[in-house]
């Protein structure tokens, strides 16, 4: 399943699986999306975009090299629950091999599938324009708009950048004791130090739904929302989180490539390089 194909590798790097600290797992799931389809083309577009990027981060003086292995795209059935089982199993296998999984989506539901492979004390820090707290969508509990609710059944969840939810969702967030840093708080620079101290020393999984960004810099998503985060706002949160917590894994979800505009997949790809760089450097300091 994880056989390497050079043509599909991130940054065009041929990396030895045994030596790699990170494994990119392309997860082209696009089943329960509620509005525009196309996230199944996300993983491939992000990997293709990576080949146009440099892997050296001059601010950190760090170059991503020989540590990120790229697995083959997961083959997924049409039934969402079966997809969850496959993602759960594959991420479990990577954790057994002591790798840090990097999932490229695909719809956001892949985060729930991945979460099943982690210990219950791993904190899921989710960057998303949407609260994803829906109880049922089209008669099903398993939907990309229910992602946060499902993950929070097993693991603590922190939401960042939320600006789209119903009053019922808001009440459910509060009842669940789920920490949510809404976009207006992000814009006031609030809650970051409080967040960092609350998760200090804990294992964290970062999930970035590309619609957390302002649509002007990430137009290639299925459910865009005006007034989103900037690239530097997201990086600032991630930098602070990784400086005091241990990265267990991460994903970049909901990239939906659009014609003649590769901004979103370039941003997604750059984020992978940034997160790996920040994580590697945070352990050296």
**Contact residues for Mn ion, defined by CB under 5 A:** 128-130, 209, 211
166's CB contacts (< 8 A; 6+ apart) are none
Closer to Mn ion at the Cβ: 130 or 134?
Answer: 130
Decide: 27 and 2 in contact? Cβ < 8 Å. Answer: no
Q: Is 189 exposed, middle or buried, given 0-12, 13-18 or 19+ CB atoms closer than 10 A?
A: exposed
Q: How far is the CB of 43 from Mn ion (least distance, A)?
A: 17
Closer CB to Mn ion, 130 or 179, in the complex: 130
Buried-state track 73-85, b at ≥16 Cβ within 10 A, e below 16: bbebeeebeebbe
Least Å from the CB of residue 84 to Mn ion: 18
**Quick one: 130 or 163, whose CB is closer to Mn ion?**
130
CA geometry: angle 93, 95, 100, nearest 5 deg? 125
CA distance 138 to 122: 30
CB of residue 238 vs Mn ion: minimum separation in angstroms? 17
Minimum CB separation of residue 196 from Mn ion in Å reads 23
Give the distance, in angstroms, between the CA of residue 216 and the centroid of all CA atoms in the same chain. 20
Taking the complex as a whole, how short is the minimal distance between the CB of residue 132 and Mn ion, in angstroms?
6
Between 252 and 276, whose beta carbon lies closer to Mn ion?
Answer: 252
Structure tokens at 106: 């695909």
Return the structure tokens found at 183. 């976009």
User: Which lies closer to Mn ion via its Cβ, residue 9 or residue 207?
Assistant: 207
């Amino acid at each position: 399943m994880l056989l390497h194909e050079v043509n599909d590798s991130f940054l065009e790097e041929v990396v030895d699986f045994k030596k790699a600290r990170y494994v990119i797992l392309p997860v082209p799931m696009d089943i329960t999306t509620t509005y525009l389809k196309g996230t199944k083309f996300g993983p491939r577009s992000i990997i293709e975009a990576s080949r146009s990027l440099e892997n050296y981060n001059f601010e950190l003086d760090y170059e991503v090299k020989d540590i990120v292995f790229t697995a083959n795209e997961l083959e997924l059935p049409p039934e969402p629950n079966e997809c969850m089982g496959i993602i759960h199993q594959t991420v479990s296998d990577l954790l057994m091999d002591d790798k840090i999984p990097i999932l490229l989506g695909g719809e956001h539901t892949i985060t729930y599938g991945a979460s099943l492979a982690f210990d219950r004390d791993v904190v899921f820090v989710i960057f998303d324009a949407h609260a994803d707290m829906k109880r049922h969508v089209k008669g099903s509990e398993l939907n990309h708009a229910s992602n946060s609710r499902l993950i929070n059944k097993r693991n603590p969840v922190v939401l960042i950048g939320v600006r789209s939810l119903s009053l019922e969702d808001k009440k459910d967030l509060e009842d669940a004791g789920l920490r949510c840093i809404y976009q207006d708080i992000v814009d006031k620079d609030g809650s970051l130090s409080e967040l960092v101290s609350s998760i200090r020393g804990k294992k964290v999984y970062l999930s970035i739904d590309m619609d957390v960004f302002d649509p002007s810099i990430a137009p290639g998503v299925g459910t865009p929302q005006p007034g989103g985060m900037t690239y530097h706002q997201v990086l600032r949160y991630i930098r602070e989180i990784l400086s005091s917590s241990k990265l267990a894994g991460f994903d970049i979800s909901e990239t939906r490539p659009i014609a003649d505009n590769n901004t979103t997949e370039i941003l997604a790809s750059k984020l992978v390089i940034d997160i790996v760089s920040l994580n590697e450097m945070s352990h050296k300091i």
